[in-house]
Amino acid sequence: MFFRAALLSFALAGLGLAQDSPAAPMPEGSYKYNASMPTALDPSAEELEWLKSINWSGMIWPLESFATVYVDDPNTTVPVPASDADATLVKRTTYRGVYICTDVNWGGQCGYAQQPTNECISLQAPWWSAISSWGPDPGQKCYGYNSNYCKYWAPDGCDVPSECIRYGGNPSIGPVRAPGLSTVPQWQDGDFNWNDHMNSWICYVE
């Protein structure tokens, strides 16, 4: 109890400081939803209804601000960073949103990002091995992997059978569709529970 009170006053002091200083710059490409100023990045009406139901903050962060996007090159199992000028964007088609949180029931630290579909999204801190709620927007199916790099570029993760690691019988969890996974039982797949064990994913338009 004592510690909780101490932490609370510390947090409030922090808020006071924040009000006195200029607002921290948001990462390039981030954006705050404002219904009176429509943009192409806005969630659809259906997506918005769902995002509001899980108390979305209204922020959209560029995926690159918390993850690395890799290009899916079918000729190799070695992923190529999308920032590589020589990378061949073989399958990039469109973008869809995904909502992620570090706690179950859409709790803890949450983020919503527009992400390229058909490409591997490889997570970094604070999301690495920390995802407990995973909500792809409608219109896509997603597969999550324990490794980074979406090994090995196939929904069943077994482009290279000899290197295939199976968790609970499956090298990936999926297909996962909106509204996604947000409870520990939902993360159970065979004898493996993927809660806090997903480090990359790939989503396909459908």
Ligand X SMILES: *[C@@H]1O[C@H](CO)[C@@H](O)[C@H](O)[C@H]1NC(C)=O
Report in angstroms how near the CB of residue 21 gets to ligand X at its nearest: 20
Identify residue 200 by its one-letter amino acid code: S
Report in angstroms how near the CB of residue 172 gets to ligand X at its nearest: 23
Its sign, for the CA torsion 58, 68, 28, 103, is positive
Q: 124 with 66: CB under 8 angstroms?
A: yes
Backbone φ/ψ region at 76: left (φ over 0), alpha (ψ -120 to 50), beta: beta
Closer of 72 and 115 to ligand X (Cβ): 72
Element (H, E) at 49: helix 45-53
Report in angstroms how near the CB of residue 169 gets to ligand X at its nearest: 31
Report in angstroms how near the CB of residue 107 gets to ligand X at its nearest: 7
Residues 127 and 46: their CA atoms lie apart, in Å, by 26
Closer of 75 and 162 to ligand X (Cβ): 75
Pairing between strand 133-136 and 188-189? unpaired
Binding site residues, ligand X, CB under 6 A: 34, 36-37, 54-55, 73, 75, 88, 90, 106
Closer of 37 and 125 to ligand X (Cβ): 37
Angle at 97 between CA 132 and CA 68, to 5 degrees: 70
Closer of 135 and 144 to ligand X (Cβ): 135
Report in angstroms how near the CB of residue 54 gets to ligand X at its nearest: 5
Residues 155 and 57: their CA atoms lie apart, in Å, by 31
Closer of 90 and 160 to ligand X (Cβ): 90
